[in-house]
Each structure stands twice: as C-alpha cells, then as structure tokens.
Structure 1
Amino acid sequence: MAVIIEYPDVMAARQLAVLNLPFPDLVKYSILGVSVALLLLAVAILLWQIFRCCTRTDVTQDTGDYYLASYTTPNFLVAPRTTDAGADHERRSLSTMELEEPSEEKVSGSLRFTLFYEPLPSRLVVTILQAEGLQRRSQAHRPHPFIRLRLMWQENQEAKRLKKGEGVPHALCTMLQEWHTRMVRDSCSPMFGEQFSCDLLRQEDLPGIIVRMEVKDFDEFSRHMVLGEVRVPLRHLNMCYPLELQEHLQTPQKDPVGEVLLSLKFLPTAQRLEVGLLKIRTLQTATNADTALYARIIVQCNQCKLRHQKTTAVRQCQVTVFNQVLMFSLPEFPPQECNVAISVYETDATRKHKHLVGQLTVGKDKRSENHHWTLMMRSVRQPIALWHQLLT
C-alpha cells in the first residue's frame, strides 16, 4: 500500500493555479488602471468639496427698503417681540410695487345714484338709480348687469404722517357693509331703483367712508366680468338732503385692506416649499370685533396647481398672530414658474359664514420675479419673512 504525502509548497502552488483568472495580462492591467482612475477621481471630487466649504462666504443681501427677517431656526411658535418703532419701520418698508396696476381695458358708461345722510339716527342711505351706456363683450352678447355696493372705511393717517414726517401715508381700508342689486337681463342701460341703508356708530367716521360701486356682467358659467366702478369719498359732500350724482365708470382699482407678514423657505434637496403665515394686520372696527381670520394658500408650480391648504382660525385683532407653517412638495425642479396665492377670509363665531377680506400673490413667472422670491432663492434652507399688502 502506497502513501502519498503532499508537501505545503505543492499545495500552495495548486491553490494559486485555481485562483488565477483565465484572462490575459492586458485585460488584467486594464481593469487595474480603470480602478486607479476612479479612485483618483473620487479623491479629486472630495478635495474640491472641501475647498468649496473652506472658501465659502456669506452672501450679503441688499434688502433696500424691505424688511428682511431671517430666522436661525424654523420654529415660529413664539411670536417675535417688536417695539412700536420696529413695527412702524416694518409697515413703512412695505413694497409699493405690490399694488396691481390698473388694466388698460376700455371702460365706458356711467352710473346715476343718490346719497343721503340722516343725522339723528346716524344713517347713510344709498339709492342706485340707473346705469347707462354699458359696453358689450361682443356684438352678439348683451350684458346682464348688476351692481355690487361696498362701504369702505379708510383710517386717517394725516395726523400720523405730520407727526412722524412721512412722505406718503400708508392708509388701510376695511369693509363696513356690502350689498348686491338684482340682475337686469339683456340691457346696456338698466334701471335699478334699489335703496340700501347702513347705520353708522359715530358721525366722526363719515368723512373716512368711501362708497364703492362696481358694475358687473353676470356670467352663469364663469366669473362675473367687471365693467367698471365708481368711487365717491364722502369727505367733502353735503348730504343733508338727497344728493343725486351721475359719474362715469372708471377702471377698477385695488384697495389695501391689510398687511401680511409672510415667510418663505425653499428646500432644494427635498423639493419642498415652506410657507409661513406669521402675522396679519387689519383695521379693528365694531363690525369685526367678534370675528376670526384664516388663510387659504394655493401654490401653482410650472402650470401645475397643487392641493390647497388652510390655516386654523384665529380670533381677529389689530395684529392677528398666526405663526403657522404649511409645507408644499414641488412636482418639478427647478421651478420655472411658481406662484403662492394667499386668500384671507373672515368668519363669525359659528364658523358658518365667511367672506373674503383680501388676496396677495408672491412668486415668479416668465416676465418678472417678486423680490421676496428672489431673496428666498438666494438664501436656500433659510426662512425669509417680508411684509406684503393685502388687496381687495
């Protein structure tokens, strides 16, 4: 019987023979060269990122006349403390560019109405008589006009302006009462003959009231078209007897009814947009003493309308503090066109009745870009807060 003894050197040689790959030396050296090249590329990228982090400097932002509030943490549960001087500076730093320019559409026609003030019950009576010469949408379409009547009260900023030496006062308006007349079908010169009255609490408020009458064309399937408006300030009118007036229709204008402190934060990695509603400043009157405010926010990105979100209702005061942040996931990156539309509503204690207080829009489109949006894109991952005007 023969015994075969294998020595260690022979066993190691057989293992090396098994591990040898069946490739020529040229392929082996090529794979080794590619591996070394990838390793050098990774090291170069790492060194470049380290160099960028070491040489990065903070970008100084030219805020101009805007009030820029930067927060180190995204927690808005505690309202920032501001003095009266700071609040006045914030309100003075509002952008006047946010007032929408009137459209250049042709407006024709006139409106005839009467105004009368009864001193004893402190009552204002407005009678809509007739509209004449209203324009048509087309030759085949005759308008179905009706009139929306609003009593707007404007705060008196004359004393404040003279005291502080401001060049232009920033006056806000609030709506005291709103009515609608009946609709008259197929008429360019409709007759109304409807009377509306409102009881005023103080006679001193009469000079600050503006009667705003909007003539609209009723549309059953779309938005009503505004044919024109008439504004009548009651400051210099003698209404001890019924005063009949006939005014030409003018291009509709927007009224500033409040100010909104809005915060925007962009997260490029997560493709999210954080919209923070911090404060809303409105005029406090006896008609809205027991009301609450809430906001409805809509984000439209690259012609794609995202799901709207609402804030919780907060009891209304002169400066209503919300400190609420809503998050929106953007469908595409980067956002070429993105608009944030905020609508503020006023509701009663039962939360069953509501009406629109005002709206504002922030964002960018193909033609222009909002200043707030520009600051947000310069400071990604950092909330930027600015005051905006609320228009109606």
Structure 2
Amino acid sequence: MVFFTTLILSFGEIQLLLSEKVEYSILGISAVLFLIALCLLIWQIYRYCTRFPVLQRAVNILSADGPSAKSGGFQYATQTRDSKMEVHYEELSHRVSPGTSCTNLGSSLDLDSMADLEEEHIQGSLRFSLFYDQLQSRLVVTVLDAQDLAVRDFSHSVDPFVWVRLMWAAREDAEQCPLHSVLDEWQTRLVKKSSCPVFGDQFSCSLAEEEVSRVTVRFEVRDFDKYSRHGILGEARVPLNSLKMSYPLELRQDLQVPKKDMVGEALLSLKYLPTSQRLEVGVLKIRTVCHSNKTERALYARISIICNQCKLRHQRTTQKMCWEVTVFNEVLTFLLPDQHIRECSIIVSVFELQPSKKSSKRLIGNIHLKKDKTSENPHWELMMQSLRQPIAEWHFIFI
C-alpha cells in the first residue's frame, strides 16, 4: 500500500510541477486531434453515402440480363501445370472495379466483346474519310463525327468513342476463307454527354498497295461506362477493294448491328468430374493468321468462368511463341459446386504480345461456351454425357 501511495503522490507532484502554459498547450493539441478525427469520420461517411448508389447502379446493370448472384459465395480454383496442383481460395466480389481509364478505353472490352449482345437501339450515322498515299504506302483513316446516336434510358445521355480496326483477309476472296487478322487498331478520344460527337482523330499505318484490296476498315461506336461493360451503339464497315482513295474520300454510313469476325481456331478439351466437382479446361492448340509484316510475337490464353452473371477467378496459360499452329497442351482446373455447373459460361480469351516490348498485350479474340436454362453448347453437352472423359473440339475465335 505504501508503494502505490508513493506512486500516486509522485504522479501528483509531477502534475503540480506543470505550468499553466503547458497545460493549455496539451489541451489545445487534444482539441485539434479531436477535430481532425471528427473531420475524418464525416468524410468517410460522406464518401460511403455518395459511392454506394453508384456501385449499386453498376451491379444492377450487370445483373439486368439474368438473376443476381448470391452473396457470400466462394470460388475455388486449381491450376494444373507440370503435374503440380495449386489451390486458390477467393471470395466472390460483387463490387465493380472503377479502374478503367479514359486513356485506354479498350481495356474493358475483353469480356463484353464476346457476349451475345442483342442491341435494341441501333441508330445514327458515322462520318469518316479514307486516303491511301501511294508514295509512302500508307493508309490514313480519319474519324470525323457521328450523328443521332442512341442515348441511355436511365441517364438520357451517351459518352461515345470509336474503336477502329483494320481487318486483313487471309485470302482475297474472303467469302471462301473468312479468316481475318487485325493489322492495326486504334481508339478515338472520348466525347462525354453528346449524341452528335465531333472526333477529328486521324490514324495511319504502313500498308503495301497489293494488300489494300484485302483490308476492311471496321468502325465500332461504343458508349463508355466506367463501372460496367461498354455499350454498343453500332458499327460501320468499309471494304477497300472497291474504293478509289488516291485523294481523301469522305463517307458517311448508317450504323448497323455489330458482327463478329473470325480470327482463328482453338482446340479445347472439356472434362467434368462430378465427385470432386472439378471442371478441367484444356488449351491444346491455337491456329491464327500470321501476316507477313507481323513482328515476333507470343500467345497466351486466359480462361474465365462466369456463373450467375458473376466472373469467377480466371486463369491463364503460359506464353508460347506464335506459329501458324501454336501448341500449348495445358489443362486448367476449376472446382465448381453443382449449382454453378448447371448454369455457367466459359470465356477463352486469346492475347498476343511482343516479348521485346512492355505493355504490348492485345486481344486477338474470344471463344464463348455457354450453358444456361434455355441453351447449351454442343461441346458442353458432350462433356456432360461423357463424364470423367476429356472431350476435345475445335472452336472458332471471334472478335
């Protein structure tokens, strides 16, 4: 008792030794810290209240075509590579990432370009000009403006931009051999809240004169959405084999329903093990069109499983140097519960990149294997009929 009493007296003596100026200083610092903490609390509450409606709207847009995902679900995925199994556990996230930037609008086109979209409102027109410089062997494409684009129902506005692709046919007669290759692609600047945007963006690339007749310029007008997939407003196509472009040729075309181009084939294998609830997707071979002016490049495939309109954790193959037929022979394994295997989709996205350059990844195309209540892919049906046996089939790659 004496020891504790001494401590109390000593502490009291220290307090008595403090001057009145120091006491007021401590009181002022405490008040400032309290005000800072209060401001941080108010700012966090304001941020939450303003952010939640935007996220809720984005989730509603994503789930408008089907039932909403159940919260609290888990996704289990394993990847088989060199006879080693790695198990990953990841909780499904229903929040939409706002990471898409206006400087790279095509970064979020990976998954929405392969979905079976049925656009109801395709209207408006696009004005552009084409010019081929024979002296420099260059094709110049200028996107001028668009008129009377369809607006979104909920906001009555549209944020358009144009994605331009040069589609090169493997043969001059594209109807007999519809395989295409993307020689080059560009995107215009984003014009916010305008159904009659003016772009004025000009692009050019080297193109031999004998190759001009095999090129089709594809203009795809899209509506930028930061929190969801970009909307499709329509497209315009111009085959260059029937045009005289010795002088700048200005054209205006009405927008049409977008069509997909076949850019290759992939040999995929599917196997489902009901006891262990494993889905094995094998990427065996990929055949693409190799243009003569293409530099050395590598390929890889990314596989995503979509269940109940929610993207589960994806996996990717290793990089392989690109040949006319690139051999992978890799199997990626996903652990899926029974309720997920009954209604899900497999998205196989093929990318190319140049090993000598950083950030040179470019989407070649996608394969979409769908299974839902109303339709079923034939390959998926064969897999379910031959459980525990790998079933391999060739699939076209579209973009």
Q: Same fold (TM over 0.5)?
A: yes
Q: Give yes or no for contact 1:340–1:362 (8 Å, CA) kept in 2.
A: yes
Q: CA deviation digits over 1:120-153, x for unaligned, max 9?
A: 2111111111111111113743222221111111
Q: Does 340-349 or 134-143 show the bigger shift? A: 134-143
Which one of the candidate residues 170, 174, 180 is aligned to 2:187? 180
Which one of the candidate residues 248, 258, 283 is aligned to 2:254? 248
- For 2:314, give the aligned amino acid: H
SS across alignment from 1:174: strand
Which one of the candidate residues 112, 118, 125 is aligned to 2:127? 112
- For 2:126, give the aligned amino acid: L
SS across alignment from 2:380: helix
Q: Does 1:138 align with 2:153?
A: yes
Deviation of the 1:352 alpha carbon: 3.5
Which one of the candidate residues 262, 268, 274 is aligned to 2:274? 268
Give the structure 1 partner of residue 235 of structure 2: 229
- For 1:314, give the aligned amino acid: K
Structure 1: unaligned runs, 5 residues or longer = 1-73, 78-98, 160-167
Tell me, in whole angstroms, the C-alpha distance in 2 between the residues paired with 1:303 and 1:194: 36
Structure 2: unaligned runs, 5 residues or longer = 1-79, 84-113
Which one of the candidate residues 144, 152, 164 is aligned to 1:149? 164
Q: CA deviation digits over 1:97-139, x for unaligned, max 9?
A: xx98772512111111111111121111111111111111137
Tell me, in whole angstroms, the C-alpha distance in 1 between the residues paired with 2:143 and 2:309: 42
Tell me, in whole angstroms, the C-alpha distance in 2 between the residues paired with 1:225 and 1:295: 25
Q: Aligned pair in 2 of structure 1 residues 327, 215: CA closer, same or farther (>3 Å)?
A: same
Tell me, in whole angstroms, the C-alpha distance in 1 between the residues paired with 2:380 and 2:255: 36
Tell me, in whole angstroms, the C-alpha distance in 2 between the residues paired with 1:338 and 1:313: 27
Q: Give yes or no for contact 2:133–2:246 (8 Å, CA) kept in 1.
A: yes
Q: Does 1:284 align with 2:290?
A: yes
Alignment of 1:40-79 (within 5 A): none
Q: Give yes or no for contact 1:345–1:358 (8 Å, CA) kept in 2.
A: yes
Give the structure 1 partner of residue 141 of structure 2: 126
Q: Give yes or no for contact 1:302–1:332 (8 Å, CA) kept in 2.
A: no
Deviation of the 1:295 alpha carbon: 0.8
SS across alignment from 1:138: coil
Q: Does 334-343 or 356-365 show the bigger shift? A: 334-343
Q: Aligned pair in 2 of structure 1 residues 281, 215: CA closer, same or farther (>3 Å)?
A: same
Tell me, in whole angstroms, the C-alpha distance in 1 between the residues paired with 2:160 and 2:299: 32
Deviation of the 1:274 alpha carbon: 1.2
SS across alignment from 1:375: helix
Q: Aligned pair in 2 of structure 1 residues 140, 274: CA closer, same or farther (>3 Å)?
A: closer
Give the structure 2 partner of residue 30 of structure 1: none
- For 1:126, give the aligned amino acid: V
Deviation of the 1:221 alpha carbon: 2.5
Which one of the candidate residues 344, 361, 365 is aligned to 2:372? 365
- For 1:176, give the aligned amino acid: L
Count how many residue pairs are aligned between Structure 1 and Structure 2: 289
Q: Does 1:220 align with 2:235?
A: no
Q: Does 1:337 align with 2:343?
A: yes
Q: Does 1:323 align with 2:329?
A: yes
Alignment of 1:158-197 (within 5 A): 158=173, 169-197=176-204
Larger radius of gyration: 1
CA RMSD of aligned residues (A): 2.5
Q: Give yes or no for contact 1:271–1:333 (8 Å, CA) kept in 2.
A: no
Q: Give yes or no for contact 2:265–2:288 (8 Å, CA) kept in 1.
A: yes
Q: Aligned pair in 2 of structure 1 residues 158, 131: CA closer, same or farther (>3 Å)?
A: closer
Q: Give yes or no for contact 1:112–1:246 (8 Å, CA) kept in 2.
A: yes
When normalised by structure 1's length, the TM-score is 0.68
- For 2:148, give the aligned amino acid: G
Q: Aligned pair in 2 of structure 1 residues 101, 275: CA closer, same or farther (>3 Å)?
A: closer
Deviation of the 1:237 alpha carbon: 0.8
- For 2:300, give the aligned amino acid: Y
SS across alignment from 1:253: coil
Give the structure 1 partner of residue 383 of structure 2: 376
When normalised by structure 2's length, the TM-score is 0.67
Tell me, in whole angstroms, the C-alpha distance in 1 between the residues paired with 2:380 and 2:270: 8
Give the structure 2 partner of residue 199 of structure 1: 206
Q: Aligned pair in 2 of structure 1 residues 312, 189: CA closer, same or farther (>3 Å)?
A: same
Tell me, in whole angstroms, the C-alpha distance in 1 between the residues paired with 2:253 and 2:311: 41
Give the structure 2 partner of residue 391 of structure 1: 398
Tell me, in whole angstroms, the C-alpha distance in 2 between the residues paired with 1:101 and 1:328: 24
SS across alignment from 2:350: strand
Q: Give yes or no for contact 1:302–1:336 (8 Å, CA) kept in 2.
A: no
Deviation of the 1:157 alpha carbon: 6.4
SS across alignment from 1:128: strand
Tell me, in whole angstroms, the C-alpha distance in 2 between the residues paired with 1:308 and 1:333: 19
